[in-house]
Amino acid sequence: MRLGWAAGRVLAKEGKGPVIIGKDTRISGYMFESALEAGLSAAGVDIRLIGPMPTPGIAFLTQNTRAQAGIVISASHNPFQDNGIKFFCTNGKKLPDTIEFAIEAELDKSMDVVSSSKLGKAERIEDAPRRYIEYCKSRIATDMDFSSLRIAIDCAHGATYHIAPHVFEELGAEVISIGVNPDGININKGYGATAPDNLAQAVSDKQADLGIALDGDGDRLIMVDSKGEVVDGDEALYIIAATRVETLNGAVVGTQMSNLGLERAIESLDLGFLRSAVGDRYVMELLEQRGLKLGGESSGHIINLNLASTGDGIISALQVMESMMASGRSLYELKNGMIKYPQKLVNIKLDRRVNLGEFPAIGHAVKEVENELGNSGRVLLRPSGTEPLVRVMVEGEDDVQVNTLAHSLADRVQQVLQSPV
C-alpha cells in the first residue's frame, strides 16, 4: 500500500492519466492488487484493473490505453509463494531512473491521504484480454496461416491461460492446451517454460508439430520440436534472427550465459554478436545503447524491438512459427542450423558473498582452463546476484573435456575461497 501511495504521489506530479494494475494467477495477487489500489487512490491517482494478464500484455495495454504507468504483480517463473511488483512507464518500457529514485524517496515519508473529493477512482478494463489477443496476432504478416500446424501449448497455469490458446487458434492452428487451470497455487508447478517434460509428452502423444511452453507471467518461451526435443531460448533466438537479418541493424545481443554455438551461428549470418550481463533488463539496455533490435537469453526471454517494447513469449513463438512457414522447414530442421556447444554449470555454495577479483589464484586457475580450451571454448565465473553462490561455467566442443574442466575448476575455486585469508 505504501508503494502504491509513493508511486501515486510521484506520478500525480508527472501527469493526470490512470495507472493500470495487472497480475498473474498466484493467490497473493488479490492481496497485492487491493493494497496497491488503496495506496494509489490515497494519493489521488485513478486505477484501471485488468486482472490476470501476461507481463508483456500489461506493457502493451499501458501504451494502448495511454496510461501513466503499468504495474505488474508477478514473480514470473518462481513458485506461488513468491510475488513481486514491476513498473512500466507509458511507452511500455521500464520507468526512468529519475522516477524510480523519486518513488524511493517518497517511501521514506509519512503517508497521508488526499482530500475525499480527490481520491482516485478504480475501474475495470473488461476487454483487456481481447485487446492483447488482437495485438499479438497483428505482430506477424496478415496472410500468415497456421492451419497446417498442430501445436501443444503449456501456459504453466499462469497469466497466459486465457490468452495464448486463443491467439494460435484464431491464426488457424489446431491447439492442444495444458497448464490452463490455475487455482492460485499451481502456477509453474511441473508445467511451463521451466518444466517442459509434460509439454514434450503432449507433443509426442498428440503427434503435434511443435510445443510452446510459457512461464507464469508469459514473457519467457521454451519450445519442443516434433521429435520431443527441447528448443531453448538460444535456438529460438537464432531461428528468429536467421529469417530477419536485414531488420536487425547488424548485430544480435545475447548474455554471458548464451551458448557459444549461438555466437558462431549468428556470425555465420554476417551479423555481430554482443554479450550483456545476465538478465533481460541488461539485454534491453544494450539493445537501446547500440540501437539494435533483437536480443535474448537461453532461458527464453527474447526481445524484438521491431515488434514489442519488452520480451513476449507469445510473440516470440509466433516469430518462430512464421519462420517455419516461410522456409517450409520444421522446427527440428530450423534449430539444427545452430550447433550447441556442450556447457557445464557448477554452483559453489558459500557462507558469504565474495569479490572474485580479490583472489589472484582463481584468475590463474581460469587462465589455465582457457588455455586448454583454446579458441574452441570459454569459461565464466559469476557470483549469484541473489544468494551466496559462485557459478562456474565451462563450454567447449568436447562434452567429456567440458565436464572434467568444469568440476576441476569448481574444486579449485572452492579450495581458494575456503582457505584462511
| Residues designated as active site | 76
8 A C-beta contact, residue 263 and residue 254: yes
* DSSP state string for 383-399: E-SSSSEEEEEEE-S-H
The residues, ordered by sequence, that sit 6+ positions from 233 with a Cβ below 8 Å of its Cβ are: 220, 221, 222, 296, 297, 298, 299, 300, 301, 302
DSSP E strands: which ranges in 30-68? 47-52
8 A C-beta contact, residue 78 and residue 188: yes
Q: Hey, CA dihedral for 50, 54, 57, 58, is it positive or negative? A: positive
Angle, helices 97-107 vs 2-14, to 10°: value is 130
Cβ burial of 100 (10 Å; 0-12, 13-18, 19+) is middle
DSSP E strands: which ranges in 216-367? 221-225, 230-231, 251-255, 272-276, 294-296, 302-304, 343-349
Phi then psi for 138, rounded to 5 degrees?
Answer: -75, -5
